[in-house]
Amino acid sequence: MAAVTMVEAIRQALSEEMERDPAVVLIGEDISVYGGAFKVTEGLLNKFGWERVIDTPISESAIIGAAVGMSYMGLRPVAEMQFIDFLACAFNQMTNFVAKSHYRWGAPVPMVVRGPSGGGVHGGPFHSANPEMYYAHTPGLKVVYPSTPYDAKGLLKSAIRDNNPVLFLEHKFLYRRIKEELPEGEYTVPLGKAIVRREGADLTIISYAAMMHTSLEAAEKLAAEGISAEVIDLRTLMPLDKETILASVKKTSKLLIVHEDTRTGGIAGEIAAMVCENAFEDLDGPIQRVTSLDTPVPYSPPLEERFLPGVPDVMRAARELAQY
């Protein structure tokens, strides 16, 4: 079976869920005839028609508002943001309506908001965001950020079937750079469950999305230096798989967290606090973070390269931690 890109894996998930459940509908800017800005929904209009693949005006607040209304009426909408940065335009809808409906009056909100995120493609400060922590901090929302085509498909199918609202982030750098063979049969990946991508003994590296591949490359090079790094892919940021994290820390006694999101307020701080609260006596060194800088994402390629964490940054921090 041929390997597929993350774009194709996501398209497969959408198509299969629309075939399985007639309540699943797509809504977003240019998703029908054009097939979406990154061609994720290409071909789905011909397969499912105008009533289920719905173009919208350029109004993110209206898109999310319409999707919430659809979910109240028994549909399972999947709303695409052309770039995830512009979900900020619908922040009120996301945080005061989508996230709070079940708490306020018991209404399930079975909707998914998905779209391209992340840097590394020279998109500049308005097309390269990693806004996960705005929403991971919002009670009532689930946040998913896969790193592989297999997980992207399986997690999206689980997200669509979930009765809670899910923010599904798709790192655009990975859209066509990572390929993987997918099973022919039906499968899902459970929300809220991390996975150990590489076994190790000397320290734990936790990451997700594009930085997962950076971390794995660093771990491979560290192995040549005699440093055994265990690498965990979070996959879901909310709910966070605390059990897998703590089990690995208890095993290795050292923790390095790598993410592309900016440093202050990133999930690394939350994980560090959780580990200190639950496994402080298992630690043999200070928890370390490798993150982007506390600036907007630069447009200039050399500046963006400096802004984003790289393999040398991860290796440097891992060496210091291993030697502590």
Domains (ranges, CATH) in the chain?
A: 4-180 (3.40.50.970), 195-322 (3.40.50.920)
pLDDT higher than threshold 80 for residue 296: yes
Tokens for 256, please give them. 């390095």
d(CA 130, CA 143): 12
pLDDT at 1 over 70: no
Q: Given pLDDT bands bounded at 50, 70 and 90, which one contains residue 2?
A: confident
Cα 94 from chain centre: 17
Positions annotated as catalytic residues are: 127
Query: What is the per-residue pLDDT for 271?
Result: 98
List the end-to-end C-alpha distance of the chain, in Å, as a whole number.
46
pLDDT in tens, 224-269: 999 999 999 999 999 999 999 999 999 999 999 999 999 999 999 9
pLDDT digits (tens, 9 = 90+) for 84-101: 999 999 999 999 999 999
Determine contact, residues 121/172, Cβ cutoff 8 Å: yes
182-218 pLDDT, tens digit each:
999 999 999 999 999 999 999 999 999 999 999 999 9
Instruction: Give CA separation, 186 vs 7, 150, 175, 183, in Å.
Output: 18, 12, 22, 8
Q: pLDDT exceeding 70 applies to what percent of the chain?
A: 100
The mean per-residue pLDDT over the stretch 142-167 comes to: 98
Query: Could you tell me the pLDDT band of residue 36, with boundaries at 50, 70 and 90?
Result: very high
How many CA atoms lie less than 13 Å away from 227 in the CB half-sphere? 24
**H-helix segments, the chain:** 6-20, 44-48, 60-72, 91-93, 101-105, 132-136, 149-161, 210-224, 242-252, 267-279, 301-307, 311-322
**Selection from 49, 57, 46 nearest residue 82 by Cα:** 57
Q: How far is CA 323 from CA 90, 117, 227, 252, in A?
A: 46, 35, 10, 13
